[in-house]
A and B are shown apart, each in its own frame.
Chain A
């Protein structure tokens, strides 16, 4: 489902959501809705995250042991499932960040050379 202003936002590239989730959790435990909000806010509302798509990703990361989850209580007293970055997840984040930066730089160079 698209929100009304979806057309103006960027759709996430395949595989980048995992990286963003891990990055978000560096600042501490967070629940699913919090992660979705954080991604949107830190990307200055540029990135479109379909909230529903977040959960399979969380599930996947949890299964790989990069994040851990347990039920807790949110700031406004709601029961929520909180995710924490594990040490394996932290390493993975490092690897993924490097990879991503190199990829982004490479793509950037190609695009710039095209413009020149």
Chain B
């Protein structure tokens, strides 16, 4: 029985010879009874009955008839496909490109959007943050809350099952080759219960662990355990010292768990000092909702919470609202729209591919019309014929899908390589079950989509009509079938329209990207190395004035040693480096202005704390006055430098000598004197293209320590001095982890990585769509010419010139392409608004882009028509008429 499913049980020839042997035996018996051999044979045959019918009955009674016919169709289909290698290759490659591109993008959608978070019931997990609406600048969220808010939320929100507080911090792990920073999170005792993930080894941090003075417990992440402890099972109970405090390892979390920011790091108990316990901005909250509570429901309960804290709130947060937001939406957050747009674009590519293959099939279906007619005349039912065609198409689409999978393996690698850094879960992209199902579904759908119309059309023509056309081959046929012709025409219109939409989308995004990258940044990007130095606690523990002085000393020592390195021209330190934004300033007094300025008043103002030499090293031009010097210290008058935008916006021109500050100085006026004015710089959120007012203060005058970001201007290729810079840092602080050792060029490239990613992908889809559409136009025009050779020959015999034939073919092809372009432009008008978030300095309906793309497609279509048109012009009337 099993055998029967996969191969026919018995060959027909075997059955035939058995019947033959039966008749033979019967004949011989009858001859023995005295009949003549001829009569005996006739009698034996009569007794047997209808031989063919017996054969058929034998066969049809078989349980596997359906399967058998399918197998027959498949073999027949494979033969047909083998017989037309050109057609088969073009169709399969076209489909493979379409399906492969779709599979790649879907794997990203699957990996980033669809895959669930590695926590049980992730939809119950929310983070809680305070949101404040500022006039002018919109809503700002503060995730840093206080222990009071935590207790309030925990105690007074019935929809919340459990709330946990946490605070991010870093530890320096020494003992490896180079000191390394590891990410750590201090968590409350409820944290692991909220997350609902049990440890792989040992136990989680519990509330008793968070009591002050206890021996500190630590839970390792899987990656840290693997890389720093060699995956040793005996790690539990081991003591380890982190930043001078002893910790005892009590557990290891499973692979994949890293909430909130622990990739290769650890969790330690959250122990707050009495002061921290009352402060705002200390802890973040994550909570698990009760079963049946929605995020909206929780928010309805949360709203009054923050207000009820009343006077304890800092003034800034008085009007704040607590908002719970689902965890899942956050980790994928901004990726959603771009990915869905990409999925839409790549879907267009597949549709174009299908239209192309469909047109090819129509053309071939017409060539095969006689085969169909003959098979129908021999008794094949219409259903059987449609099935035969569908089987062939499914074979094509499955082959295309298989090849498409190979394409997507490469596509996924590409995606990973060009994805902007920080794309969530990008390393999770792979061909997994979901993706394979998707590919199979898309392949089958494509097979039915591109195959149904041609199948119906090819089998519905009627026997007589096809056979009457004689055996002269398709070229002799006068009736190409107006239906088939129209169908192919509409396919071309359809695919050209889709290609227009795709290319316009790609062109808009590409033009924005070009505008983005040609922006004047305001600082040099070449020959600059950036380094972040994280001083160890023993060298720099910035708490208390004496310690801050030590930190500043350590920093100037590092700068001195770096500046003396061969190849280094200058070096400086800053609280943050361009293209990263400076710190946001909440409120400032400016001399001569009655009102305060700043974020609280609807002005964005940024601040950076810098060392002397910063402007020289970064190439930001000094426009007026002087830059900071080494003797700008806490003992000298407080000074500041502002950028052009600051001077223009708040001081109305020349800023030198004017004063501003966070509060009134000793003599009543604002306390910082402006000593210089520098050029504007753009920060990484290039969409805020308008330069932001910014001011600089000397690091040496600050009563806190920041500025561990070094900017090293080199005379040689920047990375060649990287190792020496590291050594210079370590010669001052041997335990200082060094992070973000990069060139400025790379930093800037990373800032535009996301638009670059979209541009590359949409550009690739646009190019693919365009290519397929042009091939489609070419294919259909060229087929039409082939079909009409006879007609063209006749026209020429009657006096038409070759140029008339040329014009006729081009005119017909261009009429289709023109209609497609027209429809595509309208479609693009309706659809490009979806791209608004991707565009920069260009409108979604930018007329130049629309006209340009329309013209480009028209040209491409013209080229695609011209080649077959030339062939039409060269038709020799004599040869063409001889076809008859």
- The chain A residues found within 8 Å of chain B, CB to CB, are 1, 3, 31-34, 36-37, 50-53, 55-56, 59-60, 63, 74, 76, 78-81
Contacts and interface: CB of A to CB of B under 8 A. Distances in A.
B24 A51 contact: no
A51 B49 contact: yes
Contacts of A31: 21-22, 25
Contact of B49 (A34, A53, A76): A53
A32 B18 contact: yes
Contact of B28 (A36, A60, A78): A78
Given A63-B4, A63-B9, A1 B50 contact: yes
6 contacts: A31-B21, A32-B22, A33-B22, A33-B26, A51-B48, A76-B28
Contacts of A1: 46-50
Given A32-B18, A63-B9, A78 B49 contact: no
Given A37-B29, A51-B48, A59 B22 contact: no
B22 A56 contact: no
Nearest to B50: A52
B15 interface: yes
A81 B61 contact: no
A55 B4 contact: no
A3 B46 contact: yes
B21 A81 contact: yes
Contacts of A36: 22, 26, 47
A74 B18 contact: no
Interface of B: 1, 4, 9-10, 15, 17-19, 21-22, 24-26, 28-29, 43, 46-51, 53-54, 57-58, 61-63
A36 B49 CA distance: 13
Q: Is the interface of B mostly helix, strand, loop or mixed?
A: helix
B28 A53 contact: no
Contact of A80 (B21, B47, B51, B54): B21
Contact of A59 (B43, B46, B61): B61
B25 A33 contact: yes
A79 B58 CA distance: 21
Nearest to A75: B25
A31 B621 CA distance: 107
Contacts of A55: 15, 18-19, 22, 54, 58
B65 to A, nearest CB: 12
A59 B4 CA distance: 13
A34 B29 CA distance: 10
Contacts, number: 79
B1 A63 contact: yes
A70 to B, nearest CB: 11
B26 A51 contact: yes
B54 A53 contact: yes
Q: Which 6 A-B pairs have the closest CB atoms?
A: A52-B49, A52-B54, A33-B25, A51-B48, A33-B22, A56-B58
A32 B22 CA distance: 6
Nearest to A32: B22
Given A1-B48, A76-B25, 10 more contacts: A32-B18, A33-B29, A36-B47, A37-B29, A50-B49, A51-B22, A52-B19, A52-B53, A55-B18, A76-B28
Contacts of A33: 21-22, 25-26, 29
Contacts of B61: 56, 59-60
Contacts of A79: 17, 21
A55 B50 CA distance: 12
Contacts of B21: 31-33, 74, 78-81
Nearest to B60: A56
A52 B51 contact: yes
Contacts of B17: 79
B519 to A, nearest CB: 78
Contacts of A32: 18, 21-22
A76 B53 CA distance: 28
A59 B58 contact: yes
Nearest to A49: B47
Nearest to B15: A55
Q: Which of A34, A52, A55, A76 has the most CB of B within 10 A?
A: A52
A78 to B, nearest CB: 6
Contacts of A34: 25
A31 B62 CA distance: 21
A42 to B, nearest CB: 16
B663 to A, nearest CB: 99
Contacts of A37: 29
A74 B54 CA distance: 23
B58 A81 contact: no
A74 B18 CA distance: 12
Contacts of B22: 31-33, 36, 51, 55, 80
